Amino acid sequence: MKKVLITGITGFVGSHLADYCLARGDAVYGLRRYHLSNLRNVTHIEHQVQWCDCDMLDMKAVMVAIDKIRPDIIFHMASQSFVSPSWDHPNVYMDVNYKMTVNLMEACRLAGINPRIHIPGSGEEYGEIYKEELPITPTTPMRPVNPYAVTKIAQDLIAYVYFRSYGLNMIRTRAFNHEGPRRDKVFGIPWYAYQIARVERGLQEPVLKVGYIDDRRNFTHVKDMVHAYWLAVEKGDPGELYLIGVEKESHIFTFRQALEMLIDMSSADNITYEIDNQYVRLTQVPRLICDTEKFTALTDWEPQISFEQILSDTLEYWREQLQINPER
């Protein structure tokens, strides 16, 4: 049995990681900010998680938590991950995505422990990628086009510094788009699914408001992604960078295609959509398709869940959420 600490355990990926680790029989620890944390995503496992109150922006609090838990593995999932607000709040994003990571690594170093620490990067770090540069590899130049991406680059590089300077077991990944239940409705696919579920319940007119929808991505189900994260920690070499995504054409789509497939899955008739400028980002990232050969050669990982199932699971999740709380 491993002692696994998951920062950001109440979030989208963190909650699925908790499910995965508990199913393995590991002891799962989670950080929460006193009474401020929203436990909606973990209510089904709340009493199986060993909780520690900690605001990760407070260095002393992080040191106390790490010294108390002394984990074997850390999945550092706590972050500001919604891109759009990063233009208006760049310092907040840097404080959370960079400073919390430094606090975590410093706390491990000062406690004299060296767990395997997973640092989950993002395909957004690559930014403006030209067609001739596809698929993206670990050596592809990064041209970030939003503040969020810059903070994730900073997080990734400081993790490498702590590996080189102090020998910490940093496992670095850059995950490309992953979707599924529990993802906040501020992101593309859950936002479409949420609106469709509202239309089905008669809570809004059958016209969906969307942002720019012609960006092309490779999509992975969150359950496949957390399995990949575990394999990265189990088999990855400290300091190395691994790209995780799906290269198969069966998982590569534009957001427009995803939207239209979701509409086809709906029980409601005559749903249309229109672009609303409030949902259009200041800059676009038109294509993020990765080369996963390095990671798959190491782990033999491959996704098990189809793109259609990703969409179906997301739509069903929002149907269930609106059944519980139609005002959500």
Measured CA to CA, the distance from residue 53 to residue 37 in angstroms comes to 10
| pLDDT, averaged across the chain | 96
Query: Mean per-residue pLDDT for 196-212?
Result: 97
The CATH number assigned to the domain with range 3-178+219-244 reads 3.40.50.720
pLDDT of residue 149: 98
Which of the pair, 206 or 324, is modelled with greater confidence? 206
Residue 127 CB partners (closer than 8 Å, separation 6+): 142, 143, 144, 145, 146, 149, 285
pLDDT digits (tens, 9 = 90+) for 124-168: 999 999 999 999 999 999 999 999 999 999 999 999 999 999 999
Tell me the fold of 184-217+252-284+306-324.
Answer: UDP-galactose 4-epimerase; domain 1 (3.90.25)
The answer to whether the pTM exceeds 0.75 is yes
In the chain, domain spans = 3-178+219-244, 184-217+252-284+306-324
pLDDT of residue 35: 67
Q: Does pLDDT of 248 surpass 80?
A: yes
Measured CA to CA, the distance from residue 141 to residue 139 in angstroms comes to 6
Q: How far is CA 248 from each of CA 166, 217, 292, 300, rounded to the nearest angstrom?
A: 38, 11, 11, 15
Tokens linked to 27: 């002891």
